[in-house]
């Protein structure tokens, strides 16, 4: 869902757009996000459905009053983004 909170180290961000891209034969995908950060930076972040995507390590999303690592909860994170 647009508006989902994420963080990396001590910088917090809010997702304002996202899309999913299939890779290769469609057996895996990447989740692309546009994020506004609390340090007033704007970035596009990419997270993969497979464990070897090192970019997702260190990133967390906020859900049900707790911060969950994206690297271990990719599909839950994607499901939350796809709500509404």
pLDDT tens column, 14-59: 999 998 888 777 677 888 999 999 999 999 998 887 655 556 778 9
Q: Which of 31, 29, 28, 27 is nearest to 44 (CA)?
A: 31
Residue 82 to residue 67: CA distance in whole angstroms: 18
Helix (H, G, I), strand (E, B) or coil at 60: strand
Domain count, the chain: 1
What pLDDT, on a 0 to 100 scale, did the predictor assign at position 3?
84
Q: What pTM was estimated for this model as a whole? A: 0.82
Task: Give the range of the structural domain holding residue 58, as residue numbers without chain letter.
Answer: 5-82
Among positive and negative, which fits the CA dihedral 58, 62, 68, 70? negative
What pLDDT, on a 0 to 100 scale, did the predictor assign at position 41?
94
Helix (H, G, I), strand (E, B) or coil at 51: coil
């Amino acid at each position: 869902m647009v508006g989902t909170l994420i963080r990396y180290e001590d910088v917090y961000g809010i997702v304002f757009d996202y899309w999913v891209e299939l890779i290769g034969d469609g057996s895996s995908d990447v989740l692309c996000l546009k994020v506004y950060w609390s340090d007033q930076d704007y970035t596009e972040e990419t997270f993969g459905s497979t464990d070897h995507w090192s970019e997702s390590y260190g990133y967390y999303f906020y859900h049900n009053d707790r911060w969950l690592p994206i690297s271990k909860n990719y599909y839950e994170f994607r499901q939350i983004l796809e709500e509404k």
